Amino acid sequence: MTKPDTSLISAPVWDIFVRCFHWSLVALFVTAVISGEVGGNAIVWHMRCGYAILTLVTFRLIWGFVGGEYARFTSFLTSPGKTIAFAKSMFGKGHDYVVGHNPLGGWMVLALLLTLATQATLGLFTNDEIATTGPLAQYVSEATSIRVTGIHHILGKVLLVFVFLHVAAVLFHLFVKKENLIRAMFTGKKSLPSELAREAEGARRASTPLGLAVFVLVIALVTVIVNWPVWFK
């Protein structure tokens, strides 16, 4: 972290996989929430979005170990001490620039990813007690499936709170700290003080073949899980 600098330089931070992951997730999440609330025939689309979210989030969790420098968990999960210190300084004057996710944002990212993964996994075991069951509901008792559906409803609300906090934090950076993190999530480039920009320029790049291979493998894995009862009766 570095104190404000007047001469900011644009440097690459978010690899293409992180960016595609993020904006696809946003579109799918919005569609999943709307179709989940609407219910009825829309639930088919809800389930499809859920499978896609499961794929994306599983990919992102693996990418957190093998992706570009700033996609890695080791680059943005810091100690509670550092996180608290950052949180305190965030509400002060001036601005601490960070190349990747800031310490507070980093923990929020992990919370979002784990809650989304749990929500999508629970979805596989749901039973709406009318006409829809998740593909794996038959492997648990009906009582368990109904209990899981109750948790699925609650986690849906928890996720909405997390997303609200997440978007509020991004807007806080935009309007109060005058740092446009949204543009960076589209272009992959952040405006940084020269020292941090140099650090970002020299950081480990993402491997495109590896990213594609992991993505294809995760698609295959989720496809097998979702179709398990049909293919392996």
Q: Does 149 bind ligand HEM (CB under 6 A)?
A: yes
Half-sphere exposure of 1 (CA within 13 A, CB side): 17
DSSP E strands, 39-139: none
Of 149, 121, 124, 152, the C-alpha closest to 138 is 124
Q: Does 163 bind ligand HEM (CB under 6 A)?
A: yes
* Residues whose CB falls within 8 Å of the CB of residue 33, separated by 6 or more in sequence, listed in order: 156, 160
- 10, 77, 140, 166: residue in contact with ligand HEM (rule CB under 6 A): 166
Q: How far apart are CA 34 and CA 53, in angstroms?
A: 14
As measured in angstroms, the least distance from the Cβ of 37 to ligand HEM is: 5
- 12, 46, 188, 193: residue in contact with ligand HEM (rule CB under 6 A): 46
Half-sphere exposure of 166 (CA within 13 A, CB side): 18
Which amino acid appears at position 147 of this protein? R
* Residues whose CB falls within 8 Å of the CB of residue 184, separated by 6 or more in sequence, listed in order: 13, 14, 190, 191
As measured in angstroms, the least distance from the Cβ of 103 to ligand HEM is: 10
Considering only residues 80 through 119, tell me which ones interact with ligand HEM, judged by CB under 6 A. Answer: 101, 105, 109, 112-113, 116, 119
Of residues 51 and 86, the one with the C-beta less far from ligand HEM:
51
Q: Does 137 bind ligand HEM (CB under 6 A)?
A: no
Beta bridge partners of 192: 9
Cα-based distances in Å from 123 to 46, 75, 215: 10, 31, 21
Q: Does 188 bind ligand HEM (CB under 6 A)?
A: no
Q: Does 221 bind ligand HEM (CB under 6 A)?
A: no
Count of chain residues binding ligand HEM (CB under 6 A): 45
Binding residues for ligand HEM (CB under 6 A)? 18, 21-22, 25-26, 29, 32-33, 36-37, 39, 43, 46-47, 50-51, 53, 60, 71, 101, 105, 109, 112-113, 116, 119-120, 123-124, 126, 128, 132, 134, 149, 152-153, 156, 159, 163, 166-167, 170, 181-182, 185
